[in-house]
Amino acid sequence: MSVPTTHPFAFDPTYGMQLDQLLAIEPPEVAPGFDDFWIERYRHAVTVDPQPKLRRSRINRPDWHVLDVSYTSTGAFQIGGWLLLPRDGTVRRGLVVGHGYGGRDLPDFDLPVKETAILFPCFRGLSLSACPPIPADPGGHVLHGIESPDSYIIGGCVDDLWIAVSALVALYPWLAGHIGYSGISFGGGIGALAIPFDSRIDRGHLVVPTFGHRPLWLTLPTVGSAQSVQAYQKKQGSVLETLRLFDAASAAARIKVPMLTATALFDPAVAPPCQFAVANALPKFNEIFILDAGHFDYVGGSEQNALLREKVERFFKVP
């Protein structure tokens, strides 16, 4: 193991916890009305006609046809992104790929998947989906609309994921039932919230997912988006009742499809106890891949990520 011992942070990004302690973390008590809130939100989202529009991108890659894509999400919000189609072989699987809170400038051309249409949406307010007055910076974005569950930006981002699935099915109807999701950090948390309520998603891969165990998320020191919410709470009063409806660990406990989750022992941006709360909530037949660190360069990181890549390739392999 190569868990970092030297770092520039004023707190311990392991939070003093060893692997056995992290694996013992359970999700918090679920918020009243949690299922009804998300089921109703999903029912509304799938009534939206995404009207996907494609055009050839200026990006040229030897293995992929690259297309610029846009589609309509809830509230008539226009979502931008990219669609990759393999130059060789047929399209037999779909994959929606979420991004971290840094947004996305380009698609990931190195995903270890074949015969797959890969949709890279930019969640509302970020990157190609930037739209004032929604703040484009993580600290501002995570607070947008937090006063009410119905207006909170995180719910809109979950809608964007669901409607990304609708867009793929609209473009390639034969992919229905064969669409996966992969997301890191912010995108991992959004995925955990979305997957249990959308039966069209047949498997998911989450890397260092955020938004897990909100009571802990609000108290543990961090350099991530939680820091902004913690500061807001000190000034404005508790936001926990809103956040409990957006708890990725509560949602993960409801996931029934195969999942591959990668969680870190050291992470200054997404506290490991919150990551493990998500992974531990999943049914026990799913795999948790342990990283020594997340959101931080470390010795052995390349080797660990290579092993994870092999697992991802098998996980999303077309049968």
Question: Is residue 16 a part of any domain in this protein?
Answer: no
pTM: 0.97
Q: What is the CATH number of the domain that holds 122?
A: 3.40.50.1820
Give the domain range for residue 261: 25-313
Question: Is residue 292 a part of any domain in this protein?
Answer: yes
Question: Is residue 1 a part of any domain in this protein?
Answer: no
Number of independent structural domains in the chain: 1
Contact 1, 264 (CB under 8 A): no
The predicted structure's pLDDT at residue 82: 98
| For range 29-54, the mean pLDDT | 98
Average pLDDT, the chain: 97
Question: pLDDT for 117-146, tens place per residue?
Answer: 999 999 999 999 999 999 999 999 999 999
Question: Is residue 217 a part of any domain in this protein?
Answer: yes
Q: Which residues contact 60 (CB under 8 A, 6 or more apart)?
A: 66
| Residue 89: pLDDT over 90 | no
Question: Is residue 15 a part of any domain in this protein?
Answer: no
Question: Is residue 279 a part of any domain in this protein?
Answer: yes
Question: pLDDT for 207-251, tens place per residue?
Answer: 999 999 999 999 999 999 999 999 999 999 999 999 999 999 999
Letter string b/e over residues 128-159, b meaning 16 or more CB atoms within 10 A of that residue's CB: bbeeeebbeebeebbbbebeebeebbbbbbbb
Question: Is residue 14 a part of any domain in this protein?
Answer: no
Question: Is residue 296 a part of any domain in this protein?
Answer: yes
